[in-house]
Amino acid sequence: MVSTPQGDRPTLTSIFYLLAVNQLSRWHMIPSTELWHFYKGAPLELIIYHTETHHLQKHILGNDLDAGQILQAIVPGKAWQCARSLGAFSLMGCIVTPGFDFRDFQFVRDLPGHVLHFEGEMAALRHYL
Protein backbone atom coordinates (compact mmCIF):
# COMPACT_ATOMS: atom_id res chain seq x y z
CA MET A 1 0.00 0.00 0.00
CA VAL A 2 1.02 3.60 -0.62
CA SER A 3 -0.37 6.81 0.83
CA THR A 4 -1.92 9.27 -1.64
CA PRO A 5 -3.91 12.50 -1.20
CA GLN A 6 -7.00 10.31 -1.78
CA GLY A 7 -5.97 7.83 0.95
CA ASP A 8 -4.13 4.50 0.98
CA ARG A 9 -4.04 2.72 -2.38
CA PRO A 10 -2.43 -0.46 -3.70
CA THR A 11 1.04 0.18 -5.08
CA LEU A 12 -0.06 -1.10 -8.50
CA THR A 13 -3.10 -2.70 -10.14
CA SER A 14 -3.35 -4.51 -13.47
CA ILE A 15 -6.37 -5.52 -15.56
CA PHE A 16 -7.28 -6.95 -18.95
CA TYR A 17 -9.67 -4.65 -20.81
CA LEU A 18 -11.76 -5.64 -23.84
CA LEU A 19 -13.52 -3.12 -26.06
CA ALA A 20 -15.83 -4.59 -28.70
CA VAL A 21 -17.09 -2.96 -31.88
CA ASN A 22 -19.29 0.09 -31.14
CA GLN A 23 -18.23 0.19 -27.47
CA LEU A 24 -16.55 3.31 -26.12
CA SER A 25 -14.38 3.92 -23.12
CA ARG A 26 -16.02 7.26 -22.31
CA TRP A 27 -14.11 10.37 -21.27
CA HIS A 28 -12.89 9.76 -17.74
CA MET A 29 -10.11 10.69 -15.36
CA ILE A 30 -8.20 9.09 -12.52
CA PRO A 31 -5.45 10.73 -10.43
CA SER A 32 -2.97 7.89 -11.07
CA THR A 33 -0.71 7.22 -14.05
CA GLU A 34 -2.02 4.52 -16.36
CA LEU A 35 -0.09 2.37 -18.84
CA TRP A 36 -2.18 0.86 -21.66
CA HIS A 37 -0.71 -2.06 -23.60
CA PHE A 38 -2.01 -3.90 -26.65
CA TYR A 39 -2.54 -7.67 -26.61
CA LYS A 40 -4.79 -8.84 -29.42
CA GLY A 41 -7.44 -7.93 -31.97
CA ALA A 42 -7.99 -4.74 -33.89
CA PRO A 43 -6.05 -1.56 -33.24
CA LEU A 44 -7.40 0.75 -30.55
CA GLU A 45 -7.62 4.53 -30.67
CA LEU A 46 -6.63 6.08 -27.33
CA ILE A 47 -7.26 9.81 -26.92
CA ILE A 48 -5.65 11.80 -24.10
CA TYR A 49 -6.49 15.41 -23.20
CA HIS A 50 -4.32 17.48 -20.89
CA THR A 51 -6.66 20.05 -19.31
CA GLU A 52 -3.95 22.40 -18.07
CA THR A 53 -2.25 22.81 -21.47
CA HIS A 54 -5.28 21.98 -23.69
CA HIS A 55 -3.00 19.51 -25.49
CA LEU A 56 -4.75 16.64 -27.27
CA GLN A 57 -2.94 13.38 -28.07
CA LYS A 58 -4.21 10.53 -30.23
CA HIS A 59 -2.49 7.14 -30.24
CA ILE A 60 -3.26 4.01 -32.22
CA LEU A 61 -2.30 0.94 -30.20
CA GLY A 62 -1.79 -2.22 -32.20
CA ASN A 63 0.85 -4.62 -33.50
CA ASP A 64 1.43 -3.08 -36.95
CA LEU A 65 4.51 -1.10 -36.00
CA ASP A 66 5.35 -0.43 -39.67
CA ALA A 67 2.04 1.47 -39.93
CA GLY A 68 2.93 3.64 -36.94
CA GLN A 69 0.91 1.73 -34.36
CA ILE A 70 2.39 1.48 -30.88
CA LEU A 71 2.31 -1.34 -28.34
CA GLN A 72 1.81 0.82 -25.26
CA ALA A 73 0.93 4.36 -24.20
CA ILE A 74 1.05 6.25 -20.92
CA VAL A 75 -1.86 8.35 -19.66
CA PRO A 76 -0.58 10.76 -16.99
CA GLY A 77 -2.57 11.07 -13.79
CA LYS A 78 -5.44 13.60 -13.98
CA ALA A 79 -5.39 13.64 -17.80
CA TRP A 80 -8.72 12.90 -19.47
CA GLN A 81 -8.89 9.78 -21.61
CA CYS A 82 -11.25 7.90 -23.90
CA ALA A 83 -10.85 5.01 -26.33
CA ARG A 84 -12.50 2.87 -28.99
CA SER A 85 -11.70 -0.27 -30.92
CA LEU A 86 -11.10 0.24 -34.64
CA GLY A 87 -12.43 -3.22 -35.47
CA ALA A 88 -14.37 -6.16 -34.03
CA PHE A 89 -12.55 -6.02 -30.68
CA SER A 90 -9.38 -4.86 -28.97
CA LEU A 91 -7.90 -6.69 -25.99
CA MET A 92 -5.77 -4.39 -23.89
CA GLY A 93 -4.05 -4.37 -20.53
CA CYS A 94 -3.97 -1.45 -18.13
CA ILE A 95 -1.48 -0.99 -15.30
CA VAL A 96 -2.25 1.80 -12.84
CA THR A 97 0.10 3.22 -10.21
CA PRO A 98 -0.70 4.07 -7.50
CA GLY A 99 -3.29 1.35 -7.94
CA PHE A 100 -6.78 1.88 -9.30
CA ASP A 101 -9.61 2.50 -6.85
CA PHE A 102 -13.20 3.20 -7.99
CA ARG A 103 -13.41 6.02 -5.43
CA ASP A 104 -10.94 7.95 -7.63
CA PHE A 105 -12.71 7.34 -10.96
CA GLN A 106 -14.63 10.27 -12.47
CA PHE A 107 -16.53 10.55 -15.73
CA VAL A 108 -15.64 13.86 -17.36
CA ARG A 109 -19.35 14.58 -17.95
CA ASP A 110 -19.71 14.83 -14.14
CA LEU A 111 -16.90 17.40 -13.71
CA PRO A 112 -17.97 21.04 -13.31
CA GLY A 113 -17.09 23.17 -16.33
CA HIS A 114 -16.19 20.25 -18.59
CA VAL A 115 -18.19 21.68 -21.52
CA LEU A 116 -15.77 24.62 -21.77
CA HIS A 117 -13.11 22.21 -23.05
CA PHE A 118 -15.24 20.83 -25.91
CA GLU A 119 -14.57 23.55 -28.46
CA GLY A 120 -12.35 23.55 -31.54
CA GLU A 121 -10.67 20.19 -32.08
CA MET A 122 -12.34 18.77 -28.96
CA ALA A 123 -15.86 19.49 -30.32
CA ALA A 124 -15.63 16.43 -32.57
CA LEU A 125 -15.01 14.26 -29.48
CA ARG A 126 -18.17 15.13 -27.52
CA HIS A 127 -19.74 11.78 -28.45
CA TYR A 128 -17.27 10.16 -26.03
CA LEU A 129 -19.01 11.89 -23.10
Cα→Cα distances 3→6, 46, 86, 121, Å:
8, 29, 38, 37
- 3.30.230.70, 3.90.1170.50, 2.60.120.10, 3.90.10.10: CATH of 2-128: 2.60.120.10
Q: Which residue in 100, 110, 108, 107 sits closest to 4, CA to CA?
A: 100
Chain centroid to CA 68: 19
Reported as a single tens digit per residue, the pLDDT across 9-63 is 999 999 999 999 999 999 999 999 999 999 999 999 999 999 999 999 999 999 9
Reported as a single tens digit per residue, the pLDDT across 52-86 is 999 999 999 999 999 999 999 999 999 999 999 99
pLDDT of 37 reads: 98
Q: Can you give the residue ranges of every domain in the chain?
A: 2-128
pLDDT of 30 reads: 97
Report pTM: 0.94
